[in-house]
Structure 1
């Protein structure tokens, strides 16, 4: 009897790292300090996705998120900042899903289709929230900022509940 390898499937690893690297490329537009921080986040994501460690993936996504926030503060355009943050959230979500599939079914189970469906749904949610976030930003520039803040908080709650649900 052989033991089942419970690490994430290769396709999930590749998908997670590909999306995380997109976020690094976005952070690179803001300068060397943000790209170095973003690379530290991606390193943590890589360790987590290779070993099946949720904490490392979450920590890495958090560091990558902070790098993109700093990039936005440093002058990166709002659409690019939102795109990079969306890629970060997507990398975290896809990585978590890959780890879960590895734990439940094993590394060698045929999970590519399930991962693609999950990633597609996540892309749709992240894109919707990103567009809504940009609309809220535009509203804040032209109208009552309290309305924009309330809408932004509602969007954050929707994103969190959909990705965790």
Structure 2
């Protein structure tokens, strides 16, 4: 009898890795602290996906999230920052799902449809949430960065709550 390979599943790992790279790319170049914290977060997400560590994926995605928030505080580019926050949350959600499926069903099980459905649903929720937040920002009466930061945090909270 062959032992079951409990590593994270491949499709979701790829999706989480892509989301982490997008989160880093959208926010890292707006400020030096966002670059540093985002780079550490990106490495931790990849380590967590390779080794199957929930904690590394969670801390790494939080690093990407904090990097996006720091970039949002230091710039007025709302669109990329909202995208970065969403991608960081997606990296966490899809990454922990990859580890969970790998632990429960094994890496060799045919889980592509399950993974694709989860990735599509999570991405859809993220896109809708960001679209609403950006729409509210654009229709607001002032162009003050504090409004963007508030809507960014509100979008992140709504996205996290909807993914539960």
Which interval holds the TM-score relative to the shorter structure? 0.7 to 0.9
Equivalences for 1:8-27 in 2 at 5 Å?
Answer: 8-27=8-27
Tell whether the 8 Å contact from 2:94 to 2:119 is kept in structure 1 after alignment.
yes
Tell whether the 8 Å contact from 2:130 to 2:155 is kept in structure 1 after alignment.
no
TM-score, length basis structure 1: 0.84
Q: C-alpha distance in 1, partners of 2:29/2:157?
A: 29
Matched with 2:5 is 5
Q: C-alpha distance in 1, partners of 2:17/2:112?
A: 15
Deviation at 1:86, TM superposition (A): 0.7
Mark the runs of 5 or more structure 1 residues left unpaired by the alignment: 143-149
Matched with 1:108 is 108
The alignment partner of 1:29 has SS state of helix
> CA 1:31–1:151 in 2, change beyond 3 Å: closer, same or farther?
closer
> CA 1:153–1:117 in 2, change beyond 3 Å: closer, same or farther?
same
Mark the runs of 5 or more structure 2 residues left unpaired by the alignment: 143-149
Superposed CA RMSD: 2.5
Matched with 2:59 is 59
The alignment partner of 1:66 has SS state of helix
Matched with 2:75 is 75
Equivalences for 1:68-147 in 2 at 5 Å?
Answer: 68-138=68-138, 141-142=141-142
Q: C-alpha distance in 1, partners of 2:69/2:151?
A: 20
Q: C-alpha distance in 2, partners of 1:31/1:158?
A: 26
Tell whether the 8 Å contact from 1:136 to 1:152 is kept in structure 2 after alignment.
no
Tell whether the 8 Å contact from 2:129 to 2:159 is kept in structure 1 after alignment.
yes
Tell whether the 8 Å contact from 1:11 to 1:112 is kept in structure 2 after alignment.
yes
Q: C-alpha distance in 1, partners of 2:64/2:100?
A: 21
> CA 1:16–1:136 in 2, change beyond 3 Å: closer, same or farther?
same
Q: C-alpha distance in 2, partners of 1:10/1:153?
A: 31
